[in-house]
Structure 1
């Protein structure tokens, strides 16, 4: 049962066997230990080059890149009814708007997260997704859809995937009196 910390191989440091890869492309759905991949997924090493750009990994030496219509997923043992937050780092590798769809199966409808990568000097942004566990075993999925780009290799890099049990806010029992703030323009 996972309650806090990185997911199993959440930093992607346990490497896939090279015989299950074609260069950086992962060719087998179960090649990356503890993960299931679908579509064009690459196993990236920090310092690798993409054209004139050097790819940097935020934690450790490895990460994954999700190409068009690709995904990574991991089954999680959780406590049914408990609340969790999953965090991960993502970075764009192409000059385009990219979106990730995050979902817990079974669970709430998936959510869409735009990958902006404009706020940090490292080029990586952190994302969080909260959910309530519908069952004791759920699948966590990060999916990169079709961004209307011809290059299937063009897609965000994912790393540092972690989970934490969170406590929902509790009612205090005291009477809460909402207040309003009215701002009026001076005449």
Structure 2
């Protein structure tokens, strides 16, 4: 009887471990990382998002706008590509998402961003307790978009990824545009002696 209970306990342990591993986020876009699943119109006031969970899979705080292709601001068209959607992080705005990851494994977060105002813009990317402050550059290309990456090594299996605009401007809407957020597992390079 004791032996069969041990086998059942071992089986349950293996089954639970397999479920935990399968829940780890996969490489590629984060869930709704391209913001295609937009907000319900009842959670918007113009382009400004009014609900904490207005964008599926994301938690919002501060002055966050949902920008669709063709959106204009004071006679200036924002550079959102046709068919894409973006979020604009205005004054003290944050988007964040909870992720299931493997402890002590390196990951890279990448996102595509563009400036929307002339002011200096910076984004604080963090997975507690680690963070990185990334300046958003003016890119002189035909699109104005650039890709930014930041690596981290989580201490827990469940973490919050946050992207925060630290700026406070006279125009609260001034802030970076983001159109895609992705994750990649970084595997250590193995050194083969003699090669």
In the alignment, structure 1 residue 48 sits paired with structure 2 residue 96:
no
Q: How big is each residue's C-alpha offset from its partner over 1:79-109, in whole Å with a ceiling of 9 and x where there is no partner? A: 111111110011111111111111012x32x
Pick the aligned partner of 1:102 from 125, 134, 137. Answer: 125
The equivalences for 1:38-187 within 5 A come to 38-58=61-81, 60-105=83-128, 107-108=129-130, 110-147=131-168, 149-172=169-192
Q: CA RMSD in A?
A: 1.7
How many residues are matched? 172
In structure 2, do the counterparts of structure 1 residues 121 and 34 end up closer, same or farther at CA, with 3 Å as the change threshold? Answer: same
Contact 2:87 2:178 in 1 (8 A): yes
Contiguous gaps of at least 5 residues in structure 2: 1-23
Which runs of at least 4 in structure 1 moved beyond 6 Å after TM superposition? none
Q: Which runs of 5+ in 1 are unaligned?
A: 175-187
TM-score by length of 2: 0.83
Please give the TM-score of this superposition, normalised by the length of structure 1.
0.86
Q: In terms of Rg, which structure is larger? A: 2
Give yes or no for contact 2:33–2:180 (8 Å, CA) kept in 1.
Answer: yes
C-alpha offsets along residues 107-166 of structure 1, whole Å, 9 cap, x if unaligned? 32x21110013243200110001111211111110000125x211011110111011111
Shift, 1:60, TM fit: 3.8
